[in-house]
C-alpha cells in the first residue's frame, strides 16, 4: 500500500512540474497562474490547477502555493480541493505544508467582488 501511495504522489508531482502555467494576474505580492491544459470540464464544473508565486517567502508557506480547485461556472463559486506550499518559486523545492479537502464536505465559497477569486472564476469559466 505504501508503494502505491508513493507512486501516486510521484505521478502528481511530475504533473505539476510539467504544467503549462499561464499568468492571469500580477500584483505587488505575487503572480497568479492557471494551468489550462490540465483543466477538466464536466457541465458547469471545472477542475483546475492554479499557482500563486510569491515575491517574498511567507512563513510556513514558502515562495509558492499550488491549488487544485473546483469551480462552479453557473453559480460563480469555488472550493479548494488541495493546497501544497513550496519552499521555492513556481511549485519547486521542498513541500512545506499540504492540505487536502473532501469535495463532498467542503462548502462552496463566493468570491469577493473585484478580487483575484472573482477574476479567476471569470477567466476559468470563459475557457
Predicted confidence band of residue 18 (pLDDT cuts 50, 70, 90): low
Q: pTM, whole model, 2 decimals?
A: 0.80
> What is the tens place of the pLDDT at every residue in 34-46?
999 999 999 999 9
Placement of cell 470563459 in the chain: 126
Provide the mean pLDDT of the chain: 88
Distance set, CA 124 to CA 13, 37, 96, 97 (Å): 22, 12, 27, 26
Reading the block at residue 31, the C-alpha cell is 503572480
d(CA 34, CA 42): 18
CATH class given for the domain over 2-125: mainly beta
DSSP annotation of 109:
B
* Closest residue by Cα to residue 50 from 106, 127, 112: 127
Is residue 52 a contact partner of residue 64, using CB atoms and an 8 Å limit? yes
User: Residue 75 contacts by C-beta under 8 Å, 6 or more apart in sequence?
Assistant: 44, 108
**Torsions phi, psi for 30 (to 5 deg):** -165, 170
Q: What percent of the chain has pLDDT over 90?
A: 80
Predicted confidence band of residue 78 (pLDDT cuts 50, 70, 90): very high
Q: 59 or 23: whose pLDDT is higher?
A: 23
What is the average pLDDT across 9-18? 45
Amino acid at each position: 500500500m505504501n508503494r502505491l501511495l508513493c507512486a501516486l504522489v510521484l505521478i502528481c508531482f511530475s504533473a505539476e512540474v510539467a504544467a503549462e502555467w499561464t499568468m492571469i494576474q500580477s500584483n505587488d505580492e505575487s503572480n497568479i497562474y492557471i494551468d489550462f491544459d490540465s483543466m477538466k470540464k464536466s457541465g458547469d464544473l471545472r477542475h483546475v490547477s492554479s499557482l500563486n508565486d510569491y515575491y517574498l517567502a511567507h512563513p510556513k508557506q514558502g515562495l509558492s502555493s499550488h491549488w487544485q480547485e473546483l469551480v462552479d461556472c453557473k453559480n460563480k463559486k469555488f472550493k479548494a480541493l488541495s493546497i501544497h506550499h513550496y519552499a521555492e518559486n513556481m511549485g519547486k523545492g521542498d513541500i512545506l505544508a499540504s492540505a487536502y479537502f473532501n469535495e463532498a464536505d467542503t462548502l462552496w465559497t463566493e468570491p469577493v467582488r473585484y478580487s483575484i477569486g472573482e477574476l479567476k472564476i471569470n477567466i476559468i469559466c470563459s475557457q
